[in-house]
């Protein structure tokens, strides 16, 4: 069994071993306080010139990674909190996402921006954001969110070996999740799309990253009540491919989307819009529902954290309500 | 240029075996130095209380302690008046307490209680005490540098003699916004004091691994901003230097950049000493403990005859009592009501 954190490390190890043009750069890469067990001793194994810990300069490291990508490298720039990555938004959104298109295309830009999502731990408003929907809004920026150890490893590899800028977001609350890893599969992100991770017939629950785990936990409890949910893990939220979801909802007639980010303009609303605008009329048996973070910055106080973060119970309750 | 006066090199100030002697009290009022010494002791002991409760698990939120580097906060606080605006960062308990922030409200904030200085919404990394001119401390590195600059702009537009202060670390100068802010402050002649607490580390990395020179004053020089570099564990020099800088800014003399060279005794975050972070740290920490700002001020006051060990011991007992009472109170305080999550999103 390999946990999610170590699986990310295996992805890095595979890339650094097999592709000399791969390197990683970012603040905190040599410190487990920042990157957990996802990069342990990579600097010792592959050298500090390919696993580069940096000054506190997110904008420069991201731009530098982009520049290196234009000159034949496959950099993975890392921000140990999404919140810190926000200092690099010009390079990600104005530059990387648009570079190929605004210069007429055919420009390979193999840049991965890895940002780590933190939740809870009384860390508060500026250390707990995920903001994946924000990045998914941008044409030209692929956004991937692994929810399993295998995806954590293989989507990292696919992201780095492709030719587009990719935002890769892993979630600290998943680091201990274990799985037997199959042999490495090198796929193209073009072929990656939402996946059914648990089949069911009564309703469709869609999640991404940590909320896929929550949905699976909720589905186990719902099963005991005789409700069989089909769980779909989004995996890639830009470009968003909803065929699997539409097919599933056509069968179940019910849709709940669970997203660990805010509601307004979020991916949950987008999935619901895609389904409701494309599904055959009459197939829906209930109004689709979304479960998201409440519309407030993350608090620190533990009593407020308890109500802030989504629980499997919240999903179970919502589903029971929908099935009435 | 002589190394000592170069804007690039800390010279002996970064040497843990230097600057251990009692400090020179000069002509500072003994009475106010004694109260500053007692304030230093209060900050030290309050943070030790926090450290103990991080260790025993009562405190869950990340706490960045300033134990060992309390003095620069005292230097600035000595000159802050009504109307000024002070900003800090992730390591700001000392700034808050030096400015007069309430102990129980600090503890309550760290415990997430409704009586906290930010109503329990922000924890250790988000402190505010408006009645003491502390506008806010935040953990996004570098974020308050331009905000303090803007506060100074507001003062200038109002035509009053208020100033703004930005406390930052040696890591924060690596963010581009420092350079943009210094340029703005310099060209607009803003009354802002940048105080770099250069403790030689940004989390696990020594400044030698992050910057080509160890003194951050070179950035001030590049932007034509007056700069001073001082032993950040010498409370008297800090009070003097910040006083001159602040008075100058109050009378339209423009920004000033102060680099206070110091060292944190605990790790980047939490209660441990982080001796495992780089060979240099474990070698240097013992040396820096001998450069203790509290011990050096206390010994100087004893030598001077203005204060005695006995008086200090009595003061310490009183401080312990205050801290214990504030902690008890904070532990008994209530958590915020659930609705507080939404009540404060919009003004
Ligand atoms: C934008 C941003 N990048 C990275 C971090 C993580 N981080 C928190 S404190 C810190 C080091 C800051 O060092 P310094 O400014 O010297 O302050 P010190 O901790 O020494 O007081 C880092 C890198 C952050 N909080 N914000
Ligand atoms: Mg520092």
Residue contact A301–B113, C-beta within 8 A: yes
Concatenating the DSSP letter of every residue in B108-165 gives: HHHTT-TTSTTTTSSGGGS--BGGGTEEEE-SSTTTHHHHHHHHHHHHHHHT-S--EE
Confidence (pLDDT) at B274: 84
Min Cα distance B172 → chain A (Å) is 7
Q: Is A300 in contact with B61 (CB distance < 8 Å)?
A: yes
Query: What pLDDT, in 10s, does the model give residues A189-224?
Result: 999 999 999 999 999 999 999 999 999 999 999 999
Give backbone dihedrals phi and psi of B30, rounded to 5 degrees, phi first: -65, -35
Residue B209 pLDDT > 80, yes or no?
Answer: yes
Q: Tell me the average pLDDT across B294-316.
A: 98
Ligand 1-lining residues (CB < 6 angstroms): A 27, 56, 58, 84, 87; B 90-91, 139-141, 169-172, 199, 201-203, 268
- Total domains, chain B: 1
Alpha-carbon span B147 to B212, nearest angstrom: 27
The answer on A207 and A182 residing in a single domain is no
The answer on A155 and A97 residing in a single domain is yes
Residues of chain B with pLDDT > 90: what percent? Answer: 94
Confidence (pLDDT) at B128: 98
The answer on A164 and A48 residing in a single domain is yes
Query: What pLDDT, in 10s, does the model give residues B146-191?
Result: 999 999 999 999 999 999 999 999 999 999 999 999 999 999 999 9
The answer on A73 and A47 residing in a single domain is yes
Residue B5 pLDDT > 90, yes or no?
Answer: no
Q: Tell me the average pLDDT across B302-314.
A: 98
Q: Is residue B333 part of a domain?
A: no
Alpha-carbon span B14 to B233, nearest angstrom: 11
In this structure, the strands spanning A255-262 and B85-88 are unpaired
The answer on A180 and A37 residing in a single domain is yes
The answer on A305 and A200 residing in a single domain is yes
Ligand 1 pocket test target in B202, B267, B274 with most atoms within 8 Å of CB: B202
Residue B214 pLDDT > 50, yes or no?
Answer: yes
Residue B338 pLDDT > 80, yes or no?
Answer: yes
Q: Is residue B191 part of a domain?
A: yes
The answer on A168 and A110 residing in a single domain is yes
Q: Does B202 touch chain A (CB under 8 A)?
A: yes
Give backbone dihedrals phi and psi of A207, rounded to 5 degrees, phi first: -140, 175
Domain-terminating residue out of A167, A191, A215:
A191
Q: Is residue B5 part of a domain?
A: no
Q: Which portions of chain A are predicted below pLDDT 70?
A: none
Residues of the domain holding B114:
11-16+29-328
Concatenating the DSSP letter of every residue in B38-98 gives: HHHHHHHHHHHHHHHHHHTTS--S-----TT--HHHHHHHTT--TT-EEEE-SS-HHHHHH
The answer on A273 and A187 residing in a single domain is no
**What does the mean pLDDT of chain A come to?**
98
The tokens for A69 are 């990508």
Confidence (pLDDT) at B280: 73
Confidence (pLDDT) at A107: 94
The answer on A250 and A187 residing in a single domain is no
Residue B200 pLDDT > 50, yes or no?
Answer: yes
Q: Is A107 in contact with A204 (CB distance < 8 Å)?
A: no
Q: Is residue B145 part of a domain?
A: yes
Q: Cβ contacts (< 8 Å) between A126 and chain B: which residues?
A: 125-126, 138-140
Residues of the domain holding A71:
2-191
Residue of A25, A55, A172, A294 to mutate when probing chain B, most B C-beta within 10 A: A55
**What does the mean pLDDT of chain B come to?**
96
Domain-terminating residue out of A191, A211, A243:
A191
Q: Is residue B137 part of a domain?
A: yes
- Total domains, chain A: 2
Confidence (pLDDT) at B277: 74
Residue A209 maps to which CATH number?
3.40.50.920
Confidence (pLDDT) at B1: 39
Which residue in the block uniquely carries the two structure tokens 């214990």?
Answer: B324
The answer on A230 and A132 residing in a single domain is no
The answer on A74 and A46 residing in a single domain is yes
pLDDT band at B279 (very low <50, low <70, confident <90, very high): low
Which residue in the block uniquely carries the two structure tokens 């342990």?
Answer: A40
Residue contact B126–A57, C-beta within 8 A: no
Residue B123 maps to which CATH number?
3.40.50.970
Concatenating the DSSP letter of every residue in A178-212 gives: EEPPPSP----GGG---EEEE--SSEEEEE-THHH
Concatenating the DSSP letter of every residue in B219-267 gives: HHHHTT-EEEEEETT-HHHHHHHHHHHHHHHHTT---EEEEEE---SS-
Residues 6+ apart with CB under 8 A from A137: A238, A265
Ion ligand 2 — residues with CB < 5 Å: B 169-170, 199, 201
Residue A23 maps to which CATH number?
3.40.50.970
| Of the partner residues A58, A295, A302, the one whose CB lies closest to the CB of residue B345 | A295
The answer on A59 and A21 residing in a single domain is yes
């Amino acid at each position: 069994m390999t946990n999610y954190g170590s699986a990310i490390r295996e992805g890095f190890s595979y890339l650094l071993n097999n592709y000399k043009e791969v390197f990683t750069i970012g603040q905190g890469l040599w410190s487990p306080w920042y990157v957990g067990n996802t990069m342990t001793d990579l600097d010792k194994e592959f050298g500090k010139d390919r696993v580069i810990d940096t000054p506190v300069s997110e904008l420069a490291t991201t731009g530098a990674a982009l520049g290196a990508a234009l000159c034949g490298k496959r950099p993975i720039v890392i921000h140990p909190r999404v919140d810190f990555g926000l200092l690099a938004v010009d390079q990600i959104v104005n530059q990387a996402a648009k570079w190929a298109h605004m210069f007429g295309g055919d420009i390979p830009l193999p840049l991965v921006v890895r940002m780590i999502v933190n939740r809870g731990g009384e860390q508060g408003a500026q250390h707990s954001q995920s903001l994946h929907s924000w990045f998914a809004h941008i044409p030209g920026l692929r956004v991937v969110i692994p929810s399993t150890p295998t995806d954590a490893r293989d989507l990292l590899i696919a992201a780095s070996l492709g030719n587009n800028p990719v935002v890769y977001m892993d979630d600290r609350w998943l680091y201990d999740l274990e799985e037997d890893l199959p042999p490495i599969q090198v796929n193209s992100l073009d072929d990656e799309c939402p996946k059914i991770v648990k089949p069911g017939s009564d309703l469709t629950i869609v999640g991404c990253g940590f909320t896929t785990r929550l949905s699976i936990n909720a589905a186990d409890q719902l099963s005991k009540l005789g409700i069989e949910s089909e769980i779909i893990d989004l995996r890639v939220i830009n470009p968003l491919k909803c065929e699997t979801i539409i097919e599933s909802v056509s069968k179940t007639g019910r849709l709940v989307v669970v997203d660990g980010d805010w509601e307004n303009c979020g991916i949950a609303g987008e999935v619901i819009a895609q389904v409701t605008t494309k599904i055959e009329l009459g197939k829906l048996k209930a109004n689709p529902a979304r479960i998201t973070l409440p519309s407030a910055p993350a608090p620190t106080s533990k009593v407020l954290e308890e109500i802030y973060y989504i629980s499997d119970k919240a999903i179970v309750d919502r589903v029971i309500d929908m099935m009435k | 240029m002589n190394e000592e006066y170069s804007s690039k090199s800390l010279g002996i100030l970064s040497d843990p075996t230097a600057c251990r002697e009692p400090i020179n009290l000069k002509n500072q009022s003994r009475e106010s130095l004694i109260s500053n010494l007692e304030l230093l002791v209060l900050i030290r002991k309050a943070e030790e209380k926090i450290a103990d409760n991080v260790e025993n698990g009562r405190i869950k939120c990340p706490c960045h302690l300033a134990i060992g580097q309390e003095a620069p906060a005292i230097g600035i606080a000595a000159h802050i008046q009504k109307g000024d605006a002070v900003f800090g960062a992730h390591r700001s308990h000392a700034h808050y307490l030096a400015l007069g922030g309430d102990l129980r409200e600090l503890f309550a904030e760290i415990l997430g209680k409704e009586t906290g200085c930010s109503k329990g919404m922000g924890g250790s990394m988000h402190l505010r005490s408006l009645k003491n001119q502390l506008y806010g401390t935040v953990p996004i590195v570098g974020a308050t540098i331009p905000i303090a600059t803007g506060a100074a702009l507001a003062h200038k537009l109002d035509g009053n003699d208020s100033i703004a202060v930005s406390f930052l670390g040696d890591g924060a100068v690596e963010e581009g916004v420092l350079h943009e802010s210094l340029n703005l402050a310099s060209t607009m002649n803003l009354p802002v004091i940048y105080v770099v607490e250069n403790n030689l580390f940004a989390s696990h990395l020594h400044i030698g691994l992050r910057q080509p020179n160890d003194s951050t004053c070179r950035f001030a020089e590049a932007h034509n901003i007056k700069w001073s570099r001082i032993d950040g564990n010498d409370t008297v020099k800090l009070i003097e230097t910040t006083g001159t800088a602040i008075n100058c800014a109050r009378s339209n003399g423009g920004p000033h950049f102060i680099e206070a060279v110091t060292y944190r005794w605990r790790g980047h975050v939490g209660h441990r000493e982080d001796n495992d972070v780089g060979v240099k740290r474990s070698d240097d920490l013992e040396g820096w403990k001998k450069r203790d700002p509290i011990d050096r001020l206390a010994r100087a006051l004893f030598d001077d005859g203005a204060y005695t060990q006995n008086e200090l011991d009595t003061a310490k007992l009183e401080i312990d009592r205050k801290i214990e009472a504030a902690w008890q109170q904070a532990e008994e305080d209530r958590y915020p009501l659930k609705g507080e999550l939404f009540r404060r999103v919009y003004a």
